[in-house]
Each structure stands twice: as C-alpha cells, then as structure tokens.
Amino acid sequence: MTRLIFILLIFLTTTVFLHGQSENKLTGSVRDSLSNEPMEAVSVYVKETGTGTYTRSNGQFSIDLKKKFPLTLRFSYVGYTNKTITLHHNDSLGTVHVLLSPKNEKLSEIVVRSNSLQEKFNSAYTSTESLEARDAEVLPALFGEIDIIKTLQLKPGISSGTEGSSNLFVRGGSGDQNLVLFDGVNIYNPSHLFGFFSTFNNDALSSVDVFKGGFPAAYGGRLSSVIDVQSKTPDSGKLNGSGGIGLISSRLTLEGPVIKDKVSFLVSGRRTYADLFTEMVNQFRDGKPDITPIPRYRFYDLNAKLSFQISDRDEITLSGYQGADIFGFTNDLFKFDFEWGNRAVSLQWTHGFSDRIYMNAALFGTNYKYSILNQAGEFDFNLGSDISDRGIRWNLFIDHLAGHYLHAGAQWINHKFNVGRFKAGSTTDNIAFSAGSSPKGNEFAAFVSDQFALLDHIKLNLGFRYSGFTGTDNFYHNLEPRFGINVSLNERINLKSSYARMNQYVHLIANNGISLPTDIWYPTTEQIKPQKSDQFVIGLNYLLSSSYLLTHEYYYKTFQNQIELKNHAQIFANANLEQEFTFGDGYAYGTEVGIEKQVGDWRGWLGYTLAWVRRGNFADIEGGDYFSPQFDRRHDFSAVSTYKLNNKWTISGTFVYGSGDKAWLPGGRFSLQDIDSYNSFPMVPLYGKRNTITIPGYHRLDVSVIRSWESSWGKHNLNISFYNLYNRRNPYFLYLDSELKSLLEGTNDLEVPIKVTARQVSLFPLIPSLSWNFKF
C-alpha cells in the first residue's frame, strides 16, 4: 500500500510539472497590510480580457494572460481599498505580492465578519461552527489562560463534561469520538492539567472549524465531530511577536521572514511555572518534622512552523508541535513520576496547476504516550501506553468547473500501539517482569465531493468516502456517503438537511467515555469491529439582518459497535485484554438553537441544546438494557457577550447552565461476618442500574475587564477576569460518606455504618485572575 501511494504521488506531481507550464501565466499572493494574514476570495480582474479569478485560502492565485501587453490588473475586496497594477512586458510575469489596505480598520472588520455570517447562511453544510483565535482573547479565562477549545464549549451542541474540563462531548458522542486536527495532524489527547486546559497556545493559532454533522467527505475516522485547528501563517514581510504573563504560565510567539517574501518562520512556546513555586516551598520546609512535600507539576508546549515559497506556484510548509505534562512526588520512602504528552509533525506541499486547479500533499506523524514510574527503595515498576501514527495525504481542488467545486483525495495511516505496558523489577535480586501487547494496523481512505447549484435556490453537496483498516488478521472496508442540501426560501430564510455515515477504526478504552491521560487507545481487530454512526440533520437558518443569524437544527444519530469495559476489568499486564471488552449500540437525538452577532462594538451569541443519549445491547452490562452514559445532559444553555466601550476598555461575560450529568452510586450494602480473626464486619456496596442518579445542575457566571493601550514598541492589554463570579459550588463528583456506630458501648471497636449520605465535591470557587498580554 505504501509503495502504491508513493508511486501514485510521483506520477501526479510529475504530471503537474509537465502540464502546468504556461508562457503567459501570472501567479501571486494577496495579504492584509495590517495583519499580513493571507486573504481568501480577493477578486483579481484583468481589464483588457475581462477575465479574472479569486485567491485561495492561502491568499495565492494564478491566472492565464492571453492578450498582448500592457495589461492592467485590479485587486478588490469589500471593505478594502482597490489596488491596480500594470504589466508592461513579458518580463513582468513572475510572482506578484499585493498588500490590500482596509478603508477603515473598524469598518473592514465589520464587513469581513458580516460576510462570514452570509457564507454560513449560504453554505450547503449543516452543523458547523467557526472561531478565530482573537474571539477567545476577549473572553474571561480561568487562571488567565486563553483557551479556544473552552470557547468551543460555549457553542450549542458541544458539552464540556465536568467542571473545568476541556473534554468535548458532541451530540451524544464520547470524548474519543472527536477528530482533533492541528494543521491536519491528529492530536490524541489535546489537554493539559488533567483536562483543565487545552494543548493549543492561542497566540500560535489562526482559526478553528468544527463540524458536528453533515461532515465533508475529506474527513473521517471519528464518529461525532471534526475539530480542525489551523496555526497562523508566518509573516513573510516583517518580524513581529506576541505573548503574555498569567497566574500560572507565560507564553511567547515570534514570527517573521528568514528571506523576505520567500522563507518565513513562526515559533511559539508556553510553560507553566507552578513547579518553581512548589520547589521553593519544599526547599523552605525541607528537614522540618511531619511535613509532606508538595507534589511538583508543570506543563509546556512548543509550536514551530517554517514556510518556503519555492516558486510562483509552489509552497512548502513544515510544522511541528510538542507538549507534555510532568507530575511528580518524592519523599524518603519512594519516588513517583507521571508524564504524558503529544508530538506531531507535518510536511506539506501546495502546488497550483492553474487559477482553478491546485493540490496539497502531506507527510505527517503523531505520537501520544503516558508513563507512570514508581520507585520504592530498590524496587520499581512502570506503567504506560502509547500510540504512534505516520501517514501520507493528498488533496486535489478544482474550483468553479462549470459551476462545480470538486474536491478529491486519499490518505494512508500506519498505527502502532503499545498497550497496557507493565514493567517491574528489583535491582538487588535481579528480578524483572514485563507484560503488554503491541498491535498495529493500517488505515486508508479515498474520497470525492462536489458542491454545485442544482437550481438558483438549491445548493447540493454530494460526497463519497471509501475507508478501511487492515490488521494482523483482519480487513475491514466501508463506504461512507455524505449528502447536504440548502434550499433558499428567500434572501433571509433557508432550509438545510444532511446525512453522513462515519467509521472509527481506533478506539479509546475508558470508563464511561471520559478521557483521562491513563486511558488506552486500541485498534480494530477480528473481535473488535469498527465503530459506526449514521446521523441525520434538518434545520433552518434565518438571517435576521446583516449582523444577526439564527440557526435551529434537529438531529438523530445511531451508534454501532460501541465499546465498554466489563465490570472489574483488568487492563494492565493482561495478555487477553480483548476479553475485558463488551460491545453494544446506542442512539442520540436532540435540537440546538443559536443566535449570533459578529458585528459592531457589541458581539456575542446565545446557545441552547436539548439532548438525549442512550447506550445498550451490551451483553455484560445491565443485561443488555439501555442506560444513560455519564455525559447524558438534558439541557445546556450558554450566553456570551463582549462590549467594546472605546479603544481602551472592553468588558465581556459568559454564563453557562447545564442540567446535571449522570452518576452511578451504590443503592445498598451488606456486611460480611466472621471472615477473619478480628471479628470485623466489612461492608460491600450493592450497585443498581448504571447512571440513574442525576447530580445537581451546573451554572456559572464569568466576567472580565480588559484595559488596552499602546507603547513605543507595541500594543498591550491587561485582562482582569473573575471565574465563577457569584461563587457557586458546582458539583465535580459525588462520594458516599458513612456515619459509624460502635457495636460495643463506650468503645470504638466493631464500628459499622448506620447511615450513608451522598456528598458533593466542588472544585473552583470564585477565582480572580490577572494577565498581561502584548503584541509588537
């Protein structure tokens, strides 16, 4: 398979060079003069021929010139000053770099954001959300950490799970059923600090697109959502940077040209300094009796990107990410270390065949692993697991071919797993023990999609994806049809509908679908079938004005081949791990309503979700009956608002409410008598049906005040945030507390519980935070 794809790519790229030459071809790029970001959909018009084209998402364009010189080209975009250049002779044909200036900085932002609402309204895709990195900058932030993934949790249809978590639960799917991509590479665990923060440094990001349903054929491999995170395009004209200092971490980003207009770079880093404070405290308390050292903890992430404009039609981009969390504890008796993290790298080549046809090819790799090391004297043991991917991807884009927008491509991924690794030994007795398994497999896919207008008021999006998985002793393949339609009733109202089938070939082995660093990824095998989902969506878009858009959607989704652990499953050092799994089905349905305003000094959105989700048909759970997973939350409401008072002051606030998640607690107990010589009466809990308890509802108000100013070397802002303003004690988890009574009067011997009460643990009270952010 690898050789076949390699030969195919060589053939295609050779064809590009042989076929793509033209004597009178002009190529170039268009960028915003203020941000230096590439501009998409800029009109490039040739006056003498009456022909033209538009820039692509990377700001580049190419156009054939068939008239004699001189030729006049006009570049235009709504909200920006038109720019005209004249080509006098054939020597002018090369790479043209154009900077467009906003007519008015504030006006241009209004126009661009207004256009984005119009594009969402006109799109044939359903169930999409888009955010720019700057959208997250002005919202209240926990501990001053700007987090675009937490901002996504405020959108309808996306649930956050427990307090402070960056997990995402989308339309009844568990946390592992989200495909999280960073520059096209899968990130398996996109979180720091046990889920409280995401792995994405906001300063290094450009935007994020989320698909909750009606998935484009280019995406696959997960059941519930696609979260496509894009890093910034490095500035090829001048050096600039950004950064910030918060309560628990600092960050710095630099970007600029290596060779102006040819080679540019971006480097971004973030690190927490909590471990510096804990180390100082531990050193101060060292040697004092009855003092337990404070555990040390830190996280970091590093982004790097290098862009090469190697010709007027070719661009090569190398990007990478590395991040990790490191937790440790040391005392006189033992040493404990826990580390987990992600690494990802991609090499992409974009080539333009013509002004309408271009392709993108990529080589990529990613790795996620965790390791737990415990040393006690001369004995040590190590637990861990990891997954590594390497792959190749190719995409072809054909824009506006007789009214059709075609997208085709293929990809291949090699998965390698290290599952349930356990090592133990003693250095003095020369004892060593190890266990675990190392399965592997190959995932492949090919797809084609077409967007076109069937009639003036009907737009269609048709796609087909063929995917499969090969392992040591298995082969699976599936056809995944995709369909979307947009019917415009008038200029303000349209109806949308979509259908999508998705398959998932790698699986997270976790309790209740809640992702933790110690969860295990496992491949499809002969016993473990690919997970499948079918989702149907119908909805309405109402463009209330150029500033307001209302969306209302209904969805129904079925799940097949869902995986749960059996009760009391043994994961580590288990040579027959697959025997610990049980398989079933599920379904989810609900409705989502959203109103958003992206224009003006006051912006924000409202979102509401009403949802149900069930799992069932598991032979070893509840006798096959259907039950609610923990993330079955009936109601979700969010309100987000920002208001720019003037150039110096901005205030923002978010309010969230969620009806309680589900919990599984014992419904009774019994005692064991005469089991030892101490006459003890140990209590054994009795569990009823799963997740029948609804924990108290969750609600929270966050506010922030931002003071902005400029200095001789850059722009600054001071962000003062208040998380959980009215100090609501929201539930983090429940536990059982027993009231004990001695069976012997006047003693504490033979104590037995006489009353058991469920108690709530809360995590975050009112938390003020302060962060200083800057750009230059």
Kindly state the average pLDDT of the residues 357-382.
Answer: 89
Please report the beta strands in 80-239, taking only residues with DSSP state E, as ranges in sequence order.
83-87, 95-100, 128-132, 158-159, 169-170, 178-182, 185-186, 191-192, 197-198, 205-211, 225-231
- Give the residue with greater pLDDT, 342 vs 88: 342
Check pLDDT > 80 for residue 707: yes
Strands (E) across 456-580 are located at 458-470, 475-488, 493-504, 506-509, 520-523, 531-543, 548-565
Asked if pLDDT for residue 218 goes beyond 90, the answer is yes
Same domain, 379 and 466: yes
Same domain, 465 and 546: yes
For 424-461, write each residue's pLDDT tens digit. Answer: 777 666 656 666 788 999 999 999 999 999 888 999 99
More confident residue, 103 or 320: 320
**429 and 356 in a common domain:** yes
Q: Are residues 271 and 128 in the same domain?
A: no
Please give the residue that has the higher pLDDT: either 547 or 537: 537
Tell me which of 722 and 742 has the higher pLDDT: 722
Same domain, residue pair 605 and 671: yes
CA torsion through residues 569, 572, 574, 579, sign: positive
Confidence grade of residue 210 (pLDDT, cut at 50, 70, 90):
very high
Domain-located, residue 382? yes
State the pLDDT at residue 511: 56
Convert the pLDDT of each residue in 511-546 to its tens digit: 554 455 667 899 999 999 999 999 999 999 999 887
pLDDT of residue 169 exceeding 50: yes
pLDDT band at 383 (very low <50, low <70, confident <90, very high): confident
Calculate mean pLDDT across residues 454-471: 94
Percent of the residues in the chain that have a pLDDT greater than 70, as a whole number: 86
The pLDDT tens digits for 18-74 are: 444 445 677 788 887 766 778 877 888 888 777 778 787 778 787 777 667 788 888
* Candidate ranges 182-196, 272-286, 335-349; pick with highest mean pLDDT: 335-349
Query: Domain containing 85 — which CATH number?
Result: 2.60.40.1120
Q: Please give the share of the chain, as a percent, with pLDDT higher than 90.
A: 47
CB atoms within 10 A of CB 556: 15
- Least confident span in 341-345, 456-460, 634-638: 456-460
**Taking residues 109-134, what's their average pLDDT?**
74
Query: Residue 752's pLDDT band (boundaries 50, 70, 90)?
Result: low
Backbone angles phi, psi at 408, to 5 degrees: -135, 160
CATH number, domain containing residue 388: 2.40.170.20
Q: Is residue 124 part of a domain?
A: yes
Comparing 144 with 266, the larger pLDDT belongs to: 266
Average pLDDT (733-743) is 72
Do residues 379 and 431 lie in contact, with contact meaning Cβ atoms separated by under 8 Å?
no
The arithmetic mean of pLDDT across residues 137-166, rounded, is 85
Predicted pLDDT at 89: 67
The answer on 94 and 111 residing in a single domain is no
Residue 69 confidence (pLDDT): 75
Residue 433 is assigned to a structural domain of this protein: yes
Of the candidate ranges 131-145, 379-393, 399-413, the one whose mean pLDDT is the lowest: 131-145
> Would 748 be classed as within a structural domain?
no
Q: What is the Cα–Cα distance from 522 to 417, expressed in whole angstroms?
A: 7
What's the total number of domains in the chain? Answer: 3
Place of tokens 């800057």: 774
CATH at 183: 2.170.130.10
**Per-residue confidence at 615, pLDDT binned at 50, 70, 90?**
very high
Residue ranges of E strands in 617-697: 635-644, 649-658, 662-663, 666-671, 683-687, 693-694
Q: What's the mean pLDDT when you consider all of the chain?
A: 85
Q: Is residue 445 part of a domain?
A: yes
> Which of 51, 73, 103 is at the close of a domain?
103
Q: Report phi then psi at 331, rounded to 5.
A: -140, -165
The answer to whether position 14 is within a domain reads yes
In this predicted structure, what is the pLDDT of residue 509? 82
Residues 484 and 502 in one domain: yes
Average pLDDT over residues 687-694: 82
Rounded-to-integer distance, Cα 341 and Cα 538, Å: 39
Q: Which backbone phi and psi does 142 adopt, to 5 degrees? A: -65, 125
For residue 224, the enclosing domain spans 107-231
Last residue of a domain, one of 204, 231, 258: 231
* Cα–Cα separations (whole angstroms), residue 20 to 30, 313, 362: 21, 10, 20
The distance of Cα 16 from the centroid of its chain, to the nearest Å, equals 34
- Same domain, yes or no, for 247 and 216? no
Report the pLDDT value the prediction gives residue 112, as an integer from 0 to 100.
47
Q: Are residues 480 and 369 in the same domain?
A: yes
**Do 259 and 315 lie in a common domain?**
yes
Question: Taking the chain, what is the end-to-end CA distance rounded to the nearest angstrom?
Answer: 48
β pairing state of 225-231 and 404-426: unpaired
Q: Is the pLDDT of residue 107 over 50?
A: no
166 pLDDT higher than 90: no
Q: What is the pLDDT of residue 690?
A: 84
Instruction: Supply the pLDDT for residue 679.
Output: 53
**Residue 753 forms part of a structural domain:** no
Last residue of a domain, one of 71, 103, 135: 103
pLDDT at position 725 is: 94
362 and 282 housed in the same domain: yes
In a domain, 757, yes or no: no
The larger pLDDT score, comparing residue 71 to residue 107, is at 71
Q: What pLDDT is stored for residue 656 in this prediction? A: 95
Q: Quick check: bond before 517 cis, omega within 30?
A: no
- Same domain for 548 and 479: yes
Highest mean pLDDT among 69-73, 79-83, 705-709, 753-757: 705-709
